[in-house]
């Protein structure tokens, strides 16, 4: 977990900086990122996978999935810890490039990339474009030809393995927009995945690096990764049989789950790396093919636990429930515009009073935002000290991933800053938006 400690006076410190000082200096709401924690997790994933795959005789690249949270400093931290960066739009690509990440260490994803995005990637010399459809193969080939370059591509396939949370299921067909299915087409011909791979092998404007699979997010059971790895390695062997081309790389995507609530157990990178490496080694031996280089794309597992959101309490309102209980609605100065995940996924979070200690009896509380919407819930149910009141500081843990990156300006709220703490000090990575920023976009 983050470098979070409670002092004797009850004030919580993150990275040795008190939240009272953070609130005074940067205001609230604010996203607070513990740089040392981010770096440790990045290193942890890189080391775990490098070690496990070295034991079975192949190498690994870890791409930090920038969609979870990308700022120039964050991209730099990732690179300094030996990670590459996975981007999913021209905007993410631009931030990674500004951070000085070399093009060759970047990947570009997307099921509907624009010509401008593909060209920006080619011009930056990205290490890989992950193509997501048959038509995109033609588009990338044409754009590469227009620039006189050969585009390095991976083909994103859907393996029939769906994972996320505690469940994973195998389905024959996948009713979603990403990737190309490994299952036969309706006409009984080659599966779309194989067709795309064959097309990519044939195109002189493309260099087929390998096969990509991403099975889901917030996965806490390693079985899905192992199953997907088996499917992808079989597909690779089949492509080699048919074309003589044994592609060098296999990407197993991201999706490594984290703990959001006290007592939850996150996926352990050492364990998952060992499990996946032995699954890959076993199927490699069974197929008699040399192992590919492996890559993975964790986002949430690197940045999620490294971040928390600091809010100030405003209105506190007890509401009588039908069953006789009382629920205390604790309103904070942000809400669904800085964290859409509870409203979108019914995601669960934990909140704590962090600016002082309290000996008051805990009450059943719901932390809500300030938006004009009753679904504007930050924490559905949590025990907070009964004397919680306006001016108190509340922290919500594990908001580093998909908080700021999915933030909006609903009700024309200004998006909070991203503040990094390190070495006992704090630094603004992304400044708070102002109403002037919003007005500047409105041309009347």
Interface ranges with ligand LLP (CB under 6 A): 65, 67-68, 86, 109, 214, 217-218, 253-256, 297-301, 341, 401-402, 406
Q: Tokens 């029939």: give the residue.
A: 160
Q: Work out how close the CB of 62 gets to ligand LLP at its nearest, in angstroms, rounded to a whole number.
A: 11
Q: Which is nearer to ligand LLP, 191 or 253 (CB)?
A: 253
Binding residues for pyridoxal 5'-phosphate: 255, 297-300, 402
Q: Residue 171 class from Cβ within 10 Å (0-12 exposed, 13-18 middle, 19+ buried)? A: exposed
Q: Work out how close the CB of 188 gets to ligand LLP at its nearest, in angstroms, rounded to a whole number.
A: 29
In 59-214, which ranges are E strands? 60-65, 84-87, 106-108, 128-131, 151-158, 161-165, 167-170, 180-181, 206-213
Binding residues: 255, 297-300, 341, 345, 373, 402
- At 88 the three-state DSSP class reads coil
Tokens of 209: 């690096």
What is the C-alpha end-to-end distance of the chain, expressed in Å?
47
Q: Work out how close the CB of 338 gets to ligand LLP at its nearest, in angstroms, rounded to a whole number.
A: 13
Q: Which is nearer to ligand LLP, 311 or 349 (CB)?
A: 349
Give CA–CA dist 416/234, Å, rounded. Answer: 46
- At 8 the three-state DSSP class reads coil
Q: Work out how close the CB of 346 gets to ligand LLP at its nearest, in angstroms, rounded to a whole number.
A: 11
Alpha helices in 256-372 (DSSP H): 269-287, 300-303, 341-345
Q: Which is nearer to ligand LLP, 220 or 280 (CB)?
A: 220
Give CA–CA dist 151/119, Å, rounded. Answer: 10
Specify the DSSP class assigned to residue 35: H
Q: Work out how close the CB of 211 gets to ligand LLP at its nearest, in angstroms, rounded to a whole number.
A: 13
Q: Which is nearer to ligand LLP, 19 or 231 (CB)?
A: 231
Binding residues for substrate: 300, 341, 345, 373, 402
Is residue 372 flagged as an active site residue? yes
Q: Which is nearer to ligand LLP, 355 or 369 (CB)?
A: 369
Residue from 172, 372, 440, 443 carrying the catalytic annotation: 372
Active-site positions read 372
């Amino acid at each position: 977990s983050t470098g979070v400690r409670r002092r004797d006076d009850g004030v919580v410190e993150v990275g040795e900086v008190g939240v009272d000082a953070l609130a005074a200096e940067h205001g609230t709401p604010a996203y607070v990122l513990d740089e040392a924690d981010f770096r440790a997790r990045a290193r942890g994933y890189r080391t775990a996978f490098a070690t496990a795959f070295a034991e079975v005789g192949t190498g690994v690249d870890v791409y930090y999935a920038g969609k979870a949270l990308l700022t120039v400093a964050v991209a730099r931290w990732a690179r300094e810890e030996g990670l590459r960066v996975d981007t999913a739009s021209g905007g993410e690509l631009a931030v990674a490039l500004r951070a000085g990440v070399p093009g060759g260490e970047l990947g570009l994803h997307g099921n509907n990339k624009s010509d401008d995005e593909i060209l920006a990637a080619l011009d930056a010399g990205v290490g890989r474009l992950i193509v997501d459809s048959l038509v995109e193969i033609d588009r990338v080939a044409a754009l590469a030809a227009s620039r006189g370059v050969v585009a390095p591509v991976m083909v994103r396939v859907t393996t029939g393995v769906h994972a996320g949370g505690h469940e994973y299921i195998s389905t024959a067909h996948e009713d979603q927009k990403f990737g190309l299915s490994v299952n036969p087409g309706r006409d009984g011909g080659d599966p779309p995945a194989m067709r795309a791979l064959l097309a990519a092998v044939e195109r002189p404007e493309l260099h087929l690096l390998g096969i990509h699979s991403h099975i889901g997010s917030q996965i806490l059971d390693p079985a899905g990764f192992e199953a997907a790895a088996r499917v992808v390695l079989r597909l690779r062997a089949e492509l080699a049989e048919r074309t003589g081309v044994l592609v060098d790389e296999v990407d197993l995507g991201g999706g490594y789950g984290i703990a959001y609530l006290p007592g939850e157990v996150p996926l352990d990178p050492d364990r998952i790396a060992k499990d996946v490496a032995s699954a890959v080694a076993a199927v490699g031996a069974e197929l008699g093919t040399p192992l590919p280089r492996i890559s993975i794309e964790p986002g949430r597992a690197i940045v999620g636990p490294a971040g928390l959101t600091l809010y100030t309490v405003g209105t506190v309102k007890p509401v009588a429930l039908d069953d006789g209980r009382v629920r205390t609605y604790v309103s904070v100065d942000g809400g669904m515009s800085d964290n859409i995940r509870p409203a979108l996924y019914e995601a669960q979070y934990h909140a704590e009073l962090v600016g002082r200690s309290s000996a008051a009896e805990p009450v059943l509380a719901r932390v809500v935002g300030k938006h004009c919407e009753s679904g504007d819930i930050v924490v559905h149910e949590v025990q907070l000290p009964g004397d919680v009141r306006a001016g108190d500081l509340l922290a919500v843990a594990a908001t580093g991933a998909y908080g700021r990156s999915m933030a909006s300006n609903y009700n024309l709220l200004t998006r909070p800053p991203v503040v990094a703490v390190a070495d006992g000090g704090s630094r603004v990575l992304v400044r708070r938006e102002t109403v002037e920023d919003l007005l500047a976009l409105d041309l009347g």
